[in-house]
Amino acid sequence: MATTLGVGVLGTGFGQKVHIPGLQAHHRTEVVAVYHRDLAQAQAVAAAHHIPHACDSVDALLALPDVQAVTVATPPFLHHSMAIAALRAGKHVLLEKPTALNVAEALEIQALAQQHQRVVTLDFEFRFVPAWQYLAELLAEGYVGNLRFVKVDWTVPGRADANRPWNWYAQKALGGGALGAFASHSFDYINWLFGPIARLSARLSTAIPQRPDPASGTLKPVDADDTCSLTLDLACGAPCQVAISSVTYAGRGHWVEIYGDQGTLILGSDNLTDYVHGFRLWGSQGGAPLAELTIPERLAFSTTYADGRIAPFVRVVNHWVNDIDQGQATAPSIAEGVLSQRLMDAAHQAHQTNAWVDIASGL
Which pLDDT tens digit goes with each residue over 26-37?
999 999 999 999
Q: Is the pLDDT of residue 362 over 80?
A: no
- Domain range list for the chain: 5-125+311-332, 130-300+341-358
CB burial string 21-41: b at 16+ within 10 A, e below: bbbebbebbbbbbbbbeeeeb
pTM of the complete model: 0.97
CATH C-level class of 130-300+341-358: alpha beta
Mean model confidence pLDDT for the chain: 97
pLDDT tens-digit readout, 112-129: 999 999 999 999 999 999
CB burial string 175-197: b at 16+ within 10 A, e below: bbbbbbbbbbbbbbbbbbbbeeb
The Cα-based distances of 362 to 31, 197, 357 in angstroms read: 38, 11, 16
Q: Which fold has domain 5-125+311-332?
A: Rossmann fold (3.40.50)
Nearest Cα residue to 186 out of 281, 273, 101, 98: 98
Q: Is the pLDDT of residue 145 over 50?
A: yes
pLDDT tens-digit readout, 5-27: 999 999 999 999 999 999 999 99
